[in-house]
Amino acid sequence: MITVHMTPVPDSKVVAYRDDGPLSRGMGLLVAGQLPPLPPVIAGTFVTGVLLLLGVAGSDGIAFFAPLVTLLLAGPGSSHPHDGRFDWLVPPILRMIEYSFIAACGFAHDVHPALIFLLLGALAFHHYDLVYRLRQHVYPPPWLSTAALGWDGRMLVISLTAVVGFMTGGFVLLAVYLWALFGWESLTCWLAAPRSRVEATPPVAPD
């Protein structure tokens, strides 16, 4: 029998939606939550977009700079409580950066579209599951974001596969790993999650 210990929902759900990896969280500890998260993420989006437009996705060496730039800009904001009026925009912007970078690298290196869809599907499943869990007050275990590498780690892995010339194999391995991880963890978590039931009161027969 598998026992799953539920973790309470954090004070800021927006931080949980970020899906930061160990590298991003480590950079956040350096600034102790003093850096507002939105402006650096917007800057990272602009720089990454420019790099992708310049064709870095198809360059084995230069492609490595896009996730590094995004990490250096967006990572330090991970420890901020994200309580600003527009800080809720940070997670969807990070999703856009990650998905766009993965798709651009895949198409630029002639990865089969089915493999690109398979990898992006694993990420979409995880992020949808994360949103639904927080709505149900069921927060995933802290180790999950570390095991899943976070948005920062996954972008770096894709970049490394481009550098070593193993892009198609990297897509396959990463997609299989993430589907297995997210599928197993989500299934065991939801099976162990307590269900709130309202006991029906039988009607009282009139005298």
Residue-wise pLDDT for 82-107, tens only, equals 999 999 999 999 999 999 999 988 99
Are 123 and 103 in contact, with CB atoms under 8 Å apart?
no
CB 6 within 8 A of CB 138: yes
The answer to whether the beta carbons of residues 35 and 43 sit under 8 Å apart is no
pTM: 0.84
Sign of the torsion formed by the C-alpha atoms of 105, 109, 110 and 112: negative
The answer to whether residue 23 scores a pLDDT higher than 50 is: yes
Confidence of residue 204 (pLDDT cuts 50, 70, 90): very low
Per-residue pLDDT, averaged over 121-128, amounts to 96
Q: Per-residue confidence at 122, pLDDT binned at 50, 70, 90? A: very high
Helix (H) or strand (E) holding 9: none
According to DSSP, the residues that pair with 7 across neighbouring strands are 139
Helix axes 38-53, 65-74, angle to 10 degrees: 170
Which pLDDT score is estimated for 58? 56
Q: How many CB atoms lie within 10 A of CB 50?
A: 12
91 neighbors 17 (Cβ within 8 angstroms) = yes
Q: Domain 13-191: which CATH class?
A: mainly alpha
CA-CA distance, 15 to 36, in Å (whole number)? Answer: 12
184 against 52, higher pLDDT: 184
- Where does the pLDDT of residue 22 fall: very low under 50, low under 70, confident under 90, or very high at 90 and above? very high
d(CA 131, CA 142): 15
Mean confidence (pLDDT) of the chain: 84
